Chain A
Amino acid sequence: MNKEEIITITKSFLSDEFEINSNKIISENNFHQTLDLDSLDYVDLVVVIEENFGFKPTSDDFKTIISFNDFYDLVDKKLK
């Protein structure tokens, strides 16, 4: 899966599952602030990431993510 595919899939599940406006999902934007998720939402985020990319991010993984770009890099790394 290349990065473009990762971005497309991510935009799709974030807008479908979390009702996030896909226009706000820009690589440089802050991942956590844009999604504005509470602790319960992170449980669901793990579920959709596992469903779409086949791995479960840990809380330590989330701590390394600042921008959406960081998230795409994390997915890319985990898939390799």
Chain B
Amino acid sequence: MEKRVVITGIGIYSSIGIGKNEVLDSLRMGKSGIIYDKEREEFGYRSKLTGMVKKPDLKPFLSRRERIGMHQPAMYAYMATKEALEQAKLESDYMSKNETGIIYGNDSTAGAVIETIDKVRKRKDTTLIGSGDIFQNMNCTVNMNLSTIFKLKGINLSLSAACASGSHSIGMGYLLIKQGLQERIVCGGAQEINLYAMASFDGLGTFSTRHEEPTKASRPFDLNRDGLVPSGGAATIIIESLESAKKRNATILGEIISYGFSSNGDHISNPNLDGQYRSLQMALSQAKLDPKLIDYINAHATSTPIGDSTEAQAIYSVFGSKTPVSSTKSMTGHECWMAGASEIAYSLLMMKYNFIAPNINLENPDENSKKINIIAEYKEKNIDILLSNSFGFGGTNSSLIIKRFIK
């Protein structure tokens, strides 16, 4: 028998807030986390804009050995996971005795790798790198570090799927629990923020150069958008079987009811209407839902002309013109590998507190965006069922549907 899969903890370390409370305030106020980064100017970036998070101080929580294998993705993920596990009332001692897995989205460790290689270039001796760098350098850095720290003994793997990594991590965790193969899994996504992480992406010319107005640069669906703004941090979503959550007396924040996915099998970077449409249809058909029952869509929309426009067409073709839509990337920028998980966290906060966070900076919707119901201002709204889209380079698509928990 298939199991019901619920969410019992969320944690966020993002440019719009450290922790759920700060993030909730930002979502309500429509506060942007985008800044002008002087270092990017000096380094040769075309776009100097980015979302920014501060480096967390892990010394109060972790030993030297636990800390030295961590660079930005693992550091941010640790902070988000700590918060999520506290909300879920899951402690390491319990998890060491009750199998808990981890599937975390991450798709780069550029900062760590380059810093390591620079050490070798300078000293011409690999034995002077030190012991921590290898655990920072590998793409599974978040999994290696967090599974060790939190004593996780179930499924343990990283999920690399470009800007849909975080969303697929939740989707794959959902499938494993639904099938009865795991009781609970730490899911999420992490995104490094450093000069090395986004240089090649910036070189494509797809980032906004609205330097004079950083907080207005990320403007999904707006006619005058000129590109995305990179960002980062981490978000963690604790998912578990309903039986496990009830047994532990955990607070249930929502129920995952479907996971649609597809691959475009087409261009390496351009979006594809058919691929997005198939992902949405798969999610809806799995959930056996009439599209009209979706109360809110958290769009992938990154603020690129072709991306947003294609998604608006996909949403219109499946949902028509009434379903409320917003892109929280208007505030956060594009959190890339983290985005699919953070946007579930943002959407769950909206569900809990009955509002839709605004798609800020929407002044003139483009031709396709005019056809859908984009919420540009804070709106009070009861959300019983929400859908979150994530699309990535290589044509990977993911759509998650989450329902308010009803016993």
Q: Which residues of A contact B (CB under 8 A)?
A: 17-19, 38, 40-41, 43-44, 46-47, 50, 56
Q: Is B200's beta carbon under 8 Å from chain A?
A: no
Which residues in A have their C-beta under 8 angstroms from that of B129? Answer: 47
Q: From residue A43, how far is it (CB to closest CB) to chain B in Å? A: 4
A43 touches B131 (CB 8 A): yes
Which residues in A have their C-beta under 8 angstroms from that of B127? Answer: 43, 46-47, 56
Which residues in B have their C-beta under 8 angstroms from that of A56? Answer: 127-128
Q: A19 is contacted by which of B64, B128, B131 (Cβ under 8 Å)?
A: B64
> Considering the chains assembled together, what is the distance between the CA atoms of A56 and B127 in angstroms?
9
> Considering the chains assembled together, what is the distance between the CA atoms of A44 and B68 in angstroms?
10
Nearest B-chain residue to A56, judged by Cβ:
B127
Nearest B-chain residue to A43, judged by Cβ:
B131
> Considering the chains assembled together, what is the distance between the CA atoms of A38 and B65 in angstroms?
10
Q: Which residues of B contact A (CB under 8 A)?
A: 63-65, 68, 127-132
B130 touches A44 (CB 8 A): yes
> Considering the chains assembled together, what is the distance between the CA atoms of A38 and B68 in angstroms?
14
> Considering the chains assembled together, what is the distance between the CA atoms of A73 and B134 in angstroms?
33
Q: From residue A11, how far is it (CB to closest CB) to chain B in Å? A: 16
Can you pick out 25 interface pairs between chain A and chain B where the beta carbons lie within 8 Å of each other? A17-B64, A18-B64, A19-B63, A19-B64, A38-B65, A40-B65, A40-B131, A41-B65, A41-B131, A43-B127, A43-B130, A43-B131, A44-B68, A44-B130, A44-B131, A44-B132, A46-B127, A46-B128, A47-B127, A47-B128, A47-B129, A47-B130, A50-B128, A56-B127, A56-B128
Q: From residue A45, how far is it (CB to closest CB) to chain B in Å? A: 9
Nearest A-chain residue to B64, judged by Cβ:
A19
Q: From residue A57, how far is it (CB to closest CB) to chain B in Å? A: 11
Which residues in B have their C-beta under 8 angstroms from that of A43? Answer: 127, 130-131
> Considering the chains assembled together, what is the distance between the CA atoms of A5 and B131 in angstroms?
27
Shortest Cβ-Cβ A-B pairs, 9 listed = A40-B131, A43-B131, A47-B130, A19-B64, A44-B131, A44-B130, A47-B128, A50-B128, A18-B64
Q: Which of B68, B127, B131 has the most CB of A within 10 A?
A: B131
Q: From residue B244, how far is it (CB to closest CB) to chain A in Å? A: 34
Which residues in A have their C-beta under 8 angstroms from that of B131? Answer: 40-41, 43-44
Which residues in A have their C-beta under 8 angstroms from that of B132? Answer: 44
Nearest B-chain residue to A39, judged by Cβ:
B131
Which residues in A have their C-beta under 8 angstroms from that of B68? Answer: 44
Q: A46-B127, A47-B130 are in contact. List 8 more A-B contacts (CB 8 A).
A: A17-B64, A19-B64, A40-B131, A41-B65, A43-B130, A44-B130, A46-B128, A47-B128
Q: From residue B332, how far is it (CB to closest CB) to chain A in Å? A: 36
Nearest B-chain residue to A20, judged by Cβ:
B64
Nearest B-chain residue to A46, judged by Cβ:
B127
Q: Which of B68, B128, B129, B132 has the most CB of A within 10 A?
A: B128
> Considering the chains assembled together, what is the distance between the CA atoms of A43 and B125 in angstroms?
13
